[in-house]
Amino acid sequence: ADRTPLAQRSPEELATYLERQRRAYAALTERGLRLDLTRGKPSTAQLDLSDALLRLPDGVTDADGVDVRNYGGLSGLRELREMFAELLWVDPDQLVAGGSSSLTMMHDVLVQHLLHGGVDSPRPWRDEDKVTFVCPVPGYDRHFTMLASYGIEMLTVPMRGDGPDVDAVESLVRDDPSVKGMWVVPTYANPSGSVVTQEVAGRLAAMPAAAPDFRIFWDNAYALHHLTSNEAKSADILSLASAAGHPHRPVMFASTSKITYAGAGVAFLAASRENVAAYLGHQQFASIGPDKVNQLRHVQFFGSAEGVRQHMVRHREILAPKFAAVDAALTAALGGLGVAEWTRPAGGYFVSLDVLDGCAARVVTLAKEAGIALTPAGASFPHGADPRDRNIRLAPSFPELEEVETAMAGVATCVALAAAERLSDVG
Positions that interact with ligand PMP (CB under 6 A): 40, 101-103, 140, 185, 190, 219, 221, 255, 257, 267
CB of 302 to ligand PMP, least distance (A): 17
The Cα–Cα gap between 216 and 18 comes to: 47
Q: Which is nearer to ligand PMP, 103 or 173 (CB)?
A: 103
Q: Which is nearer to ligand PMP, 159 or 414 (CB)?
A: 159
CB of 275 to ligand PMP, least distance (A): 19
Q: Which is nearer to ligand PMP, 9 or 225 (CB)?
A: 225
Q: Which is nearer to ligand PMP, 21 or 380 (CB)?
A: 380
CB of 334 to ligand PMP, least distance (A): 26
Task: Provide the strand spans (E) within 297-423.
Answer: 340-342, 351-355, 372-373, 391-394
Q: Which is nearer to ligand PMP, 40 or 57 (CB)?
A: 40
The Cα–Cα gap between 255 and 59 comes to: 24
Sequence-separated contacts (24+) of 379-384 with Cβ below 8 Å: 379/141, 380/137, 380/138, 380/139, 380/140, 380/141, 380/191, 380/352, 381/137, 381/138, 381/139, 381/144, 381/156, 382/135, 382/137, 382/144, 382/147, 382/148, 382/154, 382/156, 383/144, 383/148, 383/154, 384/141
CB of 342 to ligand PMP, least distance (A): 18
CB of 258 to ligand PMP, least distance (A): 7
Name the nearest CA neighbour of 38 among 296, 392, 340.
392
What is the CA 368 to chain-centroid distance, rounded? 24
CB of 346 to ligand PMP, least distance (A): 16
Q: Which is nearer to ligand PMP, 169 or 221 (CB)?
A: 221
Residue 347's CB is within 10 A of a number of other CB atoms, namely 24
Task: Provide the strand spans (E) within 202-260.
Answer: 215-219, 250-255
